[in-house]
C-alpha cells in the first residue's frame, strides 16, 4: 500500500498561496509538517510525494521538505518515502541537498522503469538497487548470484540500501519499495 501526497495541493492548503512554487524555509517547514502528520496518520509503509503540480523548488525547500523529512524519520519505524513527478530542476535541487546530508531517495520514473536514485549513492549501490527492482525480492545470495558478486559484497550493499530506506528488509529478504 502506498500513500500519495500531491505537494501542489499541500502547498495551497498549508500556506494559502495561489502560486505553485516551493520557495523559502518557512514554506518548506510548513509543508514538511503537513507531510509528517499525514505519514503518522497512515498505515501505508510507503509515502509517495508527488511533485507534478510544483513549479519552482529552491534549495531551501528541498532541504526543509526532503532532507529533513528523511533526517527526522524514526529509525524504529518501517516508513519509506519516494518521489514522483520531479522535473530535472527539482531533481538537481534535491540531489544537491541530499548529497550534503549523505542521504538518498528513490524517484519513480515511467511505468516499468526502475526508480532513479538521488543523493549520495555509489554506482555499486545503484546496480544492486536496479537488480532488486528487476528481479524482485531477494536475499544476499540471490542478488550476489545475479550480479556475479560475493555474498558478503551483496549483503553489504543490500544493508546499506536498507539503512538508506531505499529497500525494505524483511527476514533477510530485500524488497523494492514500489512493488
- The residues of the chain scoring below 70 in pLDDT are 179
User: What is the pTM assigned to this prediction?
Assistant: 0.93
Q: pLDDT tens across 93-104, in order?
A: 999 999 999 999
Q: What is the pLDDT of residue 91?
A: 97
3-state secondary structure of 108: strand
Residue span(s) of the chain under CATH 1.10.10.10 come to 121-179
Cross-strand bridge partners of residue 174: 138, 169
Strand partners, 83: 49, 107
Q: For the segment 94-144, what is each residue's pLDDT rounded down to a tens digit?
A: 999 999 999 999 999 777 788 999 999 999 999 999 999 999 999 999 999
Q: Does domain 1-120 have CATH number 3.10.560.10?
A: no
Beta strands in the chain (DSSP E): 2-6, 46-50, 80-84, 104-108, 116-119, 167-170, 173-176
Architecture label for domain 121-179: Orthogonal Bundle (1.10)
Looking at the chain, the domain(s) classified CATH 3.30.750.24 span 1-120
Amino acid at each position: 500500500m502506498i500513500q500519495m501526497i500531491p505537494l501542489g495541493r499541500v502547498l495551497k492548503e498549508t500556506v494559502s498561496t495561489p502560486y505553485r512554487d516551493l520557495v523559502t524555509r518557512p514554506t518548506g517547514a510548513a509543508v514538511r509538517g503537513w507531510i509528517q502528520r499525514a505519514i503518522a496518520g497512515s498505515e501505508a509503509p510507503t509515502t509517495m510525494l508527488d511533485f507534478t503540480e510544483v513549479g519552482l523548488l529552491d534549495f531551501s525547500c528541498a532541504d526543509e521538505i526532503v532532507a529533513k523529512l528523511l533526517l527526522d524519520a524514526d529509525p524504529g519505524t518501517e516508513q519509506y518515502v519516494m518521489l514522483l513527478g520531479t522535473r530535472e530542476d527539482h531533481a538537481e535541487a534535491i540531489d544537491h541537498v541530499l548529497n550534503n546530508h549523505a542521504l538518498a531517495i528513490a524517484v519513480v520514473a515511467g511505468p516499468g522503469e526502475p526508480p532513479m536514485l538521488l543523493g549520495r549513492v555509489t554506482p555499486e549501490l545503484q546496480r544492486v538497487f536496479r537488480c532488486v527492482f528487476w528481479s524482485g525480492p531477494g536475499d544476499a545470495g540471490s542478488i550476489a548470484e545475479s550480479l556475479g558478486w560475493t555474498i558478503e559484497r551483496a549483503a553489504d550493499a543490500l544493508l546499506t540500501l536498507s539503512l538508506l530506506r531505499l529497500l525494505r528488509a524483511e527476514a533477510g529478504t530485500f524488497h523494492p519499495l514500489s512493488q
